[in-house]
Chains A and B, each alone.
Chain A
Amino acid sequence: MRRALITTAAVLLAGVAGCKATPPGKLETGTITFIKHHITIGNKKEKNPLPDTPETRADGKEAFGHYCVACHGMDGQNTGVPFVGNMSPPAPSLVSPQVQSYTDGQLKRILDYGIKPSGMPGSKGILSDDELWSIVTYLRHLPPKGSQGVPEIYTH
């Protein structure tokens, strides 16, 4: 009995030890993307109340810089994020069709409540509605990859 228990525990441990964060395949990515876009992430119809002006984009860039940059980089394309290759699921490039095809309302919902069980946290209450909507605007006008340098938190 004891030997069986130990053997089972050893097999389980070996299984866990074999777990490794690997990039998801096409099927997994496609399935999860479909579920997020059409089932789990609602608020498709809410419109961004802020005007799309250079001032709003600048506000969004500043608000994005508070802590989004820790995972997404200054450019929203993971530039300079040292652990970008170790995240599972990976933080997507925010200029990718996978992200840009969300409506403004869906992006706001993601910023408010995050995406569980991924690492994306919600920011409702941490940032104001104004700031969150301005980030949505900024996401529609992200700068070229690498153009903003490395987030300051990773430079020292």
Chain B
Amino acid sequence: MKKKWMLPALLAGIVAALAFSSPAVWAQTAPQRIEVTAKRFSFTPSEITVKKGQPVVLVLKSEDVAHGIRFRELDVNVKVKAGGTSQVEFTPDKTGDFVGHCSVFCGAHHGSMAIRLHVVD
């Protein structure tokens, strides 16, 4: 008899927990998806802002040759093949401004191909 009520009670509990949880909690845990396009020799957008502690899905699309983005200080590196799409998930654990560079040699101005990441509280 007890077992009969256990499953509905458990489901009701889960539903109640979801219903009463704050939207702010959802916002903090849901990954922030950011799409960046790479084309010799720039990234679009060239600046992105994310929140500390909030997971980020960084999607990198190439419009020409192979490229990459590496934020050395955050230990983040994503590489994409020519014309392809790739993604990396990470959670920034410190605030500040970080410069990411193209991590796949792509030609004459490869070294100046950069993107700025702002991590805020």
In the complex, which range does the number of interface residues on chain A fall in? 10 to 19
Number of A-B residue pairs at CB separation under 8 A: 28
The answer to whether A128 touches B101, judged by C-beta atoms less than 8 angstroms apart, is yes
Closest chain A residue, CB of each to CB of B102: A128
Q: Give the docked Cα–Cα distance between A127 and B41 (Å).
A: 12
A126 CB–B CB distance under 8 Å: yes
Interface size on B, residues (CB 8 A): 12
Inside 8 A of A132's CB, which chain B residues have their CB?
Answer: 111
The answer to whether B111 touches A125, judged by C-beta atoms less than 8 angstroms apart, is yes
Q: What are some 27 contacts across the A-B interface (CB < 8 A)? A: A63-B105, A66-B105, A123-B111, A124-B111, A125-B109, A125-B111, A125-B112, A126-B108, A126-B109, A126-B110, A126-B111, A127-B105, A127-B110, A128-B101, A128-B102, A128-B110, A128-B111, A128-B112, A128-B113, A128-B114, A129-B111, A130-B70, A130-B72, A130-B101, A131-B101, A131-B111, A132-B111
Question: Measured between C-beta atoms, what is the minimum distance from A127 to chain B in Å?
Answer: 4
Q: Give the docked Cα–Cα distance between A124 and B112 (Å).
A: 8
Q: Give the docked Cα–Cα distance between A123 and B107 (Å).
A: 12
A-B CB proximity, top 8 nearest? A128-B101, A127-B111, A128-B111, A66-B105, A125-B112, A125-B111, A126-B111, A130-B101
Closest chain A residue, CB of each to CB of B114: A128
Inside 8 A of A127's CB, which chain B residues have their CB?
Answer: 105, 110-111
Kindly supply a per-residue 1/0 record for chain A positions 100-131, scoring 1 wherever the CB is within 8 Å of any chain B CB and 0 otherwise. Answer: 00000000000000000000000111111111
Inside 8 A of A126's CB, which chain B residues have their CB?
Answer: 108-111
Q: Could you list 14 further interchain pairs (A-B, Cβ under 8 angstroms) beyond the known A125-B111, A127-B110, A127-B111?
A: A66-B105, A123-B111, A124-B111, A125-B112, A126-B109, A126-B110, A126-B111, A127-B105, A128-B111, A128-B113, A128-B114, A129-B111, A130-B70, A131-B111
Q: Give the docked Cα–Cα distance between A63 and B114 (Å).
A: 16
Question: Measured between C-beta atoms, what is the minimum distance from B67 to chain A in Å?
Answer: 13
Q: Give the docked Cα–Cα distance between A130 and B70 (Å).
A: 10
Counting chain B CB atoms within 10 Å of each CB, the highest count among A124, A125, A129, A132 belongs to A125
Inside 8 A of A129's CB, which chain B residues have their CB?
Answer: 111
Would you list which residues of chain A between 126 and 148 have a CB under 8 Å from chain B? 126-132
Q: Give the docked Cα–Cα distance between A127 and B109 (Å).
A: 7
Question: Measured between C-beta atoms, what is the minimum distance from A65 to chain B in Å?
Answer: 9
Closest chain A residue, CB of each to CB of B108: A126
Counting chain B CB atoms within 10 Å of each CB, the highest count among A125, A128, A130, A132 belongs to A128
Closest chain B residue, CB of each to CB of A67: B105
Q: Give the docked Cα–Cα distance between A89 and B118 (Å).
A: 47
Q: Give the docked Cα–Cα distance between A132 and B111 (Å).
A: 9
